[in-house]
Structure 1
């Protein structure tokens, strides 16, 4: 069994599902080019990278251009308001903290359940489940800076190869996020 990774791009799926035969993500980028307007011709690649990531993980592309491990609930890239750098926020499914896992004293008469799972996927409990059962679902919030070196400059105009620049940006973001988050995912998988 191979070691899990946090993020990946399924290039084959993207190409096979594209109406132009090249890239479903590229088609989606061209349809949503106006979202890049504030980032075009920006001296910093941060705004462009955040927009490219948002579109690559958009529910409209279900499954997204960027896919992630079953333990990852969300992953966003944002501009740090303090200095304008790039920060990632990744929310992950986690086991209960050890202080709550080993002692039944805090539970009272309740039997708390962990994350419901179906076919290995972590799910939100349904409204019906919440009527009869208590859930204590642990999450972790990983926030990490993403170095800007290597990120392509934002195009100056939307007609400048927007899809190719966005793809190169996403490939680099996936690599950097994997460096930060994959060790966490691997450790959580031991749970």
Structure 2
């Protein structure tokens, strides 16, 4: 029986509503307080720059409006300087590559350690940990195009329903990134080679 894939990305609507003020969600209020960050995106024929800015604001909130799996270290969405399309760059915690797990000879009894975990969260080794043993922490760098089809158009200006459009852009990007990366996260969490 196949296990369901874990979520790689999602929008935390409940936390946003519960911690909003004045009838606005927390993210909506943040977008309005940082409206100047969107100034270069007004009336853009493509929704890319607006969506990238909306994503950045969402991921900079603490905790973020957009959340991601514990294996994801960072996630950015930007406009490609090559053709103006949307691209993402996502850094993912990984196990050691197979070449390092087939044998332990390379370790030479030095006590190599993988990613430390605290309550299931991957963490950076403390300074004390680094003085006790060497650490080898594997990361995967995912760089991929993101479809634009469902992104909302860029608003015409600061009075043009910016907050709802930003929310919609983040929801679409979270869905697209989840579709892209949930299978990767699922395979890493399973910890076994994929069926051929």
Q: TM-score range by the shorter chain?
A: over 0.9
- Whether the 8 Å CA contact 2:151–2:169 is kept in 1: the answer is yes
- Structure 2 alignment gaps of length 5 or more: 192-196
- Structure 1 alignment gaps of length 5 or more: none
- Whether the 8 Å CA contact 2:5–2:183 is kept in 1: the answer is no
Q: Secondary structure at the match of 1:189?
A: helix
- Of 55, 58, 61 in structure 1, the residue corresponding to residue 57 of structure 2 is 55
Deviation string 1:56-87 (CA, Å, 9 cap, x unpaired) is 000xx211000000000000001111111000
- Show the counterpart of 2:14: 12
- Show the counterpart of 1:85: 85
- Range with bigger deviation, 44-53 or 102-111: 102-111
**Equivalent residue pairs, number:** 189
1:1-191 counterparts in 2 under 5 A?
3-58=5-60, 61-191=61-191
User: Shift of the alpha carbon at 1:2?
Assistant: 6.0
Runs of 4+ in 1 over 6 A off after TM superposition: none
Q: Output the TM-score relative to the length of structure 1.
A: 0.95
- Whether the 8 Å CA contact 2:5–2:182 is kept in 1: the answer is no
Q: Output the TM-score relative to the length of structure 2.
A: 0.93
Once residues 52 and 122 of structure 1 are traced to their aligned partners in structure 2, the CA distance between those partners, rounded to angstroms, is 27
Once residues 3 and 190 of structure 1 are traced to their aligned partners in structure 2, the CA distance between those partners, rounded to angstroms, is 10
* Aligned CA-pair RMSD: 1.2
Once residues 79 and 63 of structure 1 are traced to their aligned partners in structure 2, the CA distance between those partners, rounded to angstroms, is 25
Once residues 103 and 4 of structure 2 are traced to their aligned partners in structure 1, the CA distance between those partners, rounded to angstroms, is 34
Deviation string 1:67-123 (CA, Å, 9 cap, x unpaired) is 000000000001111111000111000000000112122222422100000110000
- Whether the 8 Å CA contact 2:150–2:172 is kept in 1: the answer is yes
- Whether the 8 Å CA contact 2:48–2:84 is kept in 1: the answer is yes
- Whether the 8 Å CA contact 2:11–2:67 is kept in 1: the answer is yes
Once residues 24 and 70 of structure 2 are traced to their aligned partners in structure 1, the CA distance between those partners, rounded to angstroms, is 27
Once residues 14 and 64 of structure 2 are traced to their aligned partners in structure 1, the CA distance between those partners, rounded to angstroms, is 13
- Whether the 8 Å CA contact 2:9–2:69 is kept in 1: the answer is yes
